[in-house]
Structure 1
Amino acid sequence: MPAIHKLPEVLINQIAAGEVVERPASVLKELLENSLDAGSRAIEVALAQGGVKQLRITDDGCGIDRDDLALALERHATSKIASLEDLEAVGTMGFRGEALAAIASVARTKITSRATGAAHAWRVTEREREPAPAALNGGTVVEVEDLYYNTPARRKFLKSESTEFGHCDDVFHRIALARPDVGFQLAHNGRVSLRLAAGDAERRVREILGDDFMANCRTVQAESGSLSLTGFAALPAYARANRDAQFFYVNGRFVRDKLIQHALREAYADILHGARHPAFVLFLDLDPAGVDVNVHPAKTEVRFREGRAIHQFVFHGLTRALAAPVQAASLMHSPADPAGYSGPTEQIRLAVEEPGLPRQLSSWHADNVETRADFRPTSFPVGNRAPFNPAALEQLAPRTSGPALPQTPDNASAPLGYAVGQIHGVYVLAQNAHGLVLVDMHAAHERILYEQLKHVLDGNPGVQRLLIPAVFNASKIELATAEEHADTLTRMGFDVAAAGPNELAARSVPALLGRANVAELLRALLAELRDFPASEVIAARRNELLATMACHGAVRANRQLTLPEMNALLRDMEATERADQCNHGRPTWTQLSMTDLDKLFMRGQ
């Protein structure tokens, strides 16, 4: 066994560099964060050969004093914290004092900086640590060249130039999204690829993620005490095959946190199905003392001191934004309530083949427009096929000498407008203030029934006693979790207790899940309760059943509707949460503006 000895400083730095400097993108991230901590308002990035040959960052921040510049390349040297109390409430992007030292140990590094009020600039390099006079108007310039030139084994792990530039581009976008108040410019091999002027959050998100994202997203804004959640969350129609459009920030820092990811996933669970991934740009702000950012050298992982509260805040804040009915979150910004509409006028009975469930589960809000005496609410017999009544068109048509389309009571008063007809018994056509609205009537009715089923059962899960308790093997941690969360399990409809040193027994389960595999269900539930503040396992299983029931109960294709029935459907959509998507995450309606229609017929050209 060789004798224990102290490693040389150069090797120590190179080992540390392995944690901080994975590739050029890692260098770019650290240097951009330093520029932001310096109060920069404009930052320019220039890369050569994907950042491997050269990476140059120029900012207009406060600069570095001469005496501080001499320490900038030393390990564990920083101006951002000085005590344990500072570390426990970090408010800056950087704080570890390792990045510049790690970079300088594996690349040719040069820092030129001129502090505010200084007579001139000073420069240091990874070899010449004594500052030398230099020319610079203000701010700081950091140049990193020949990454891993002295560790060829590490350089072999780098990918192609285009791949490394792609990673740098991703980092640039993440940081630019977090700071819309700062101007950014990115150039590669002498060519500017992106220039972003300082502005507001919406403009920055539009510039980076595009108009398509902004046209398919909801604004998120929630506050509770010192917690704040803001940003934009895309609707399921914009769902992606990967996670490349997911940006979550904690106090301006891009993070990938297990707790947060779970809360976001659960918020989308009821509207996004399959293998698709949601898109969002969300900012969580809280007291820096409430989050530990000193978890990993890369600083993309955090630990919350009140994880349960954070989880619930993010989950409910995003859920409320996504669940807003059409009339509250319409992309057309129409008034909230249709003229003369006063809520539900009658309920339609829907037979549900499930014991113990209420039968009155569907409420289509019929139009009751006072200004039109001939516009009456009509019941919607779900199970019967009613013939289309062409007389309804005549009743709503204006009294003119020639043929004309029916006029609606007030298109501007309802986001989805008023019906004018139906196509092949599948789609409802409506006219609103902006043009034409197309509605998939089965998908829309399916969502309405589904939300009503959930509302009926909320707060009353129903309990089914088991004639023979379900006994299954359980680990020590499962036994402890069941004991710790006994009250939560009871509220969910479970009666669970230890049946031995390695067994659990369930004596009751939620009524809707009476036929489920109790052991499998409880194991999943206990695992969820152990890691997260509130389990969505039961709600997810219950909702799967309700979604199936709603699908079977919804109006089928080829069902001819009268105009009052179509308008009743539109009004219900406007008052129903998540009515923009069916239970499978597909859109229920789409808008064609007058401009869109004019383009189809080349009007004005």
Structure 2
Amino acid sequence: MKKIQLLPPRLANQIAAGEVVERPSSVVKELLENCLDAGARRIDIDVEQGGVKLIRIRDDGWGIPEDQLPLALSRHATSKISELEDLEAVGSLGFRGEALASISSVSKLSLTSSAEGQEQGWRVQTEGRDMEAQLFPAAHPRGTTVEVRDLFFNTPARRKFLRTEKTEFGHLEEVIKRLALSRFDVGFHLRHNQRTVHQLKPAESQLERERRIAMLCGPAFIDNAVCVDVEASGLRLWGWVGLPTFSRSQADMQYFYVNGRVIRDKLVAHAVRQAYRDVLYNGRHPTFVLFLELDPTGVDVNVHPTKHEVRFRDGRNVHSFLFSTLHRVLAEVRPQDQVQERSPLSESPAPRASGLAAGEFGGQQPMALQASSSGWSERPPAGRVSDQLATYRSMHAAVDQLLTNGAAGGIAKPAESEPADEEVPPLGYALAQLKGVYILAENQQGLILVDMHAAHERITYERLKLTWADRGITSQPLLVPVSVAVSQREADCAEQQQALLAQLGMQVERMGPETLTVRQLPALLRNADVEQLLRDLLADLMEQGSSDLLEARQHEILATMACHGSVRANRRLTLPEMNALLRDMEVTERSGQCNHGRPTWTQLDMGELDKLFLRGR
């Protein structure tokens, strides 16, 4: 058996570096967090060969006094916490005191700094097996410069795992992007191999912030994003969320910050995914730049070596706040918010906008259509979904009147006596129906194209949800109760949440240490796989503290009913019917997407149409 002995300081730091320093981007992250914690307002980053050869970061922060410089490169040395109570309410990005010591153990590191009131700056670096700090005078303005050369020069096994220069720089740039999005008050300047990549000035106003986001995430994101700023119960959520139609094939444009710290968290991801649930196309990922602010004592940031994960002390409340806020924000976007002639942040025309309508549903119920040998006939709406087929002729007498007053050539526009341009609705007035599938309409900006079936499907679905919510959950006893074998933890959860399950229309009883019996289900789910439904529900309750699974399953059934009960392709609608459909879209929540997440309408403004025909060239 080998003898127990203390590890040499350099080896101990190299082991610690395995957790903190994965690649050049890890070094940049740690050093930039130190700059921000030191009150920097301008940060210059110079890198060479993807950061492997050189990383030089300079800031104009408070600086480090001469007598504290040697200690700065020691392990577990920090000015950010001093006792346990500080750790329970961390307000800084860094706090472990390991970064500089770990980085210096796997590279050639020097730190030069000058604090306010000092006559000159000083440089410190470590040498030898014991990593003794050497101090030298050096000219330097107030602030700090850290220079890291030849990363992993003394740990060749780690260096072999590095990728190409382009890949490593891509990771490094992403780190800078994340921090630049979190601190709009700080200027960031990045150069790679003596070439300027980013020059980001401090952004104080809303317009300047959106310009920075456009530079880092692309102008298309900010053109298709909705601002959010909501505060409740000691929580504040603000930032930008992308419209469902501006989704991605990968989750590569999702930036979430808790008290300024970028994080990846399962609870947050679940709340966001739930908010987008019935408006996002299958397999697509939403986009967002969001900031959650709360009391530092309400979140534990000391749960991961790289500080990427956090733990909320009241996770259920945070989840509920995030979901309800985003769910409502996405529902409240109106078509007029999405119909724009030109992007405010670029010279080029804005991307084609696909709309979300908003507001609580109101107005008269539509008449229903039934097919006959002579065509369409009207009858009052019935309760069955099959009776929800749209005829809108009687709903909007004003539109009929406008058409009667002389809309020549089938173009439905206001009468001469009405204010023409100012009163044109966001989705305009119908011109014609194309191939029995699309409605063509004219608004102030140009041409609107509407997928008739998709739009009516969403309208029907939202009305069914409102009707279902008004009537409440109808439960149905099972003819034969279903017994389910579960773990003791799952059985304990079911017993503790029995009242909640009953509110959701599900009666579950504990029959033994590891046995549950389901006696009652919501009526809409009477044909569901009871055992799998219960297991999924308990999994949600144990992980999130709450579950919307039963509601989601019932909504899936309502969506299917809405799909079968909506206007089908190749059915001819009159101009009044088409116009009424457009008006319904403008007052129905989430009308920009059908129940499957596909867009229901799109805009082609005059600039885009002129470009297609080379007009003005």
How far off is 1:411 after superposition? 4.9
Match of 1:421 among 432, 440, 452: 432
1:347 aligned onto 2:385: no
1:258 aligned onto 2:285: no
1:541 aligned onto 2:540: no
Relative distance call for 1:90 and 1:49 in structure 2 (3 A) is same
Match of 1:387 in 2: none
Match of 2:379 in 1: none
Match of 2:565 in 1: 553
Relative distance call for 1:362 and 1:202 in structure 2 (3 A) is farther
SS of the aligned residue for 2:76 comes to coil
Aligned pairs (5 A) from 1:150-549: 150-199=154-203, 200-327=208-335, 329-332=337-340, 344-349=363-368, 374-375=401-402, 395-397=405-407, 405-408=411-414, 410-413=420-423, 414-458=425-469, 460-549=472-561
TM-score scaled by length of structure 1 = 0.90
SS of the aligned residue for 1:133 comes to strand
Deviation per residue, 1:458-492 (Å, 9 max, x gap)? 26121011111011211101110100111110011
Counterpart-to-counterpart distance in 1, 2:238 and 2:582: 30
1:597 aligned onto 2:612: no
Match of 1:389 in 2: none
Counterpart-to-counterpart distance in 1, 2:334 and 2:31: 44
Match of 1:65 in 2: 65
Counterpart-to-counterpart distance in 1, 2:77 and 2:57: 20
Unmatched tracts of structure 1, length 5 or more: 376-391
Counterpart-to-counterpart distance in 1, 2:532 and 2:519: 15
Please say if residues 245 and 280 of structure 1, whose CA atoms lie closer than 8 Å, have aligned partners that are also in contact: yes
Please say if residues 107 and 150 of structure 2, whose CA atoms lie closer than 8 Å, have aligned partners that are also in contact: yes
Please say if residues 410 and 432 of structure 2, whose CA atoms lie closer than 8 Å, have aligned partners that are also in contact: no
Deviation per residue, 1:193-238 (Å, 9 max, x gap)? 2221221432221111111112222222221032111111112222
* Larger displacement relative to structure 2 (518-527 or 267-276): 267-276
Q: How many residues align?
A: 576
Counterpart-to-counterpart distance in 2, 1:169 and 1:364: 55
Relative distance call for 1:53 and 1:83 in structure 2 (3 A) is same
SS of the aligned residue for 2:72 comes to coil
1:143 aligned onto 2:152: no
Please say if residues 411 and 417 of structure 1, whose CA atoms lie closer than 8 Å, have aligned partners that are also in contact: no
Counterpart-to-counterpart distance in 2, 1:264 and 1:220: 14
SS of the aligned residue for 1:43 comes to strand
Write the letter of the residue equivalent to 1:62. W
Write the letter of the residue equivalent to 2:182. A
Deviation per residue, 1:10-39 (Å, 9 max, x gap)? 221111111111111100000111111111
Unmatched tracts of structure 2, length 5 or more: 342-352, 371-381
Match of 1:388 in 2: none
SS of the aligned residue for 1:70 comes to helix
Write the letter of the residue equivalent to 2:547. S
Relative distance call for 1:97 and 1:596 in structure 2 (3 A) is same
How far off is 1:4 after superposition? 2.5
Match of 1:118 in 2: 118
SS of the aligned residue for 1:71 comes to helix
Please say if residues 47 and 56 of structure 2, whose CA atoms lie closer than 8 Å, have aligned partners that are also in contact: yes
Counterpart-to-counterpart distance in 2, 1:515 and 1:373: 45
SS of the aligned residue for 2:542 comes to helix
Counterpart-to-counterpart distance in 1, 2:321 and 2:513: 37
Counterpart-to-counterpart distance in 1, 2:506 and 2:483: 13
TM-score scaled by length of structure 2 = 0.88
Relative distance call for 1:45 and 1:116 in structure 2 (3 A) is same
Please say if residues 28 and 55 of structure 1, whose CA atoms lie closer than 8 Å, have aligned partners that are also in contact: yes
Deviation per residue, 1:166-196 (Å, 9 max, x gap)? 1101111111111122111111111112221
Q: Percent identity?
A: 53
How far off is 1:301 after superposition? 0.4
SS of the aligned residue for 1:238 comes to coil
Please say if residues 239 and 277 of structure 1, whose CA atoms lie closer than 8 Å, have aligned partners that are also in contact: yes
Please say if residues 186 and 194 of structure 1, whose CA atoms lie closer than 8 Å, have aligned partners that are also in contact: yes
Write the letter of the residue equivalent to 2:102. A
Relative distance call for 1:50 and 1:221 in structure 2 (3 A) is same
SS of the aligned residue for 2:198 comes to strand
How far off is 1:117 after superposition? 2.9
* Larger displacement relative to structure 2 (59-68 or 311-320): 59-68
Aligned pairs (5 A) from 1:15-30: 15-30=15-30
How far off is 1:553 after superposition? 1.1
Counterpart-to-counterpart distance in 2, 1:262 and 1:540: 14
SS of the aligned residue for 2:286 comes to coil
Please say if residues 78 and 96 of structure 1, whose CA atoms lie closer than 8 Å, have aligned partners that are also in contact: yes
Counterpart-to-counterpart distance in 2, 1:230 and 1:369: 38
Counterpart-to-counterpart distance in 2, 1:475 and 1:3: 45
Counterpart-to-counterpart distance in 1, 2:400 and 2:438: 27
How far off is 1:456 after superposition? 1.2
Counterpart-to-counterpart distance in 2, 1:530 and 1:593: 50
Match of 1:56 in 2: 56
CA-based RMSD = 2.6
Please say if residues 339 and 603 of structure 2, whose CA atoms lie closer than 8 Å, have aligned partners that are also in contact: no
Please say if residues 367 and 571 of structure 1, whose CA atoms lie closer than 8 Å, have aligned partners that are also in contact: no
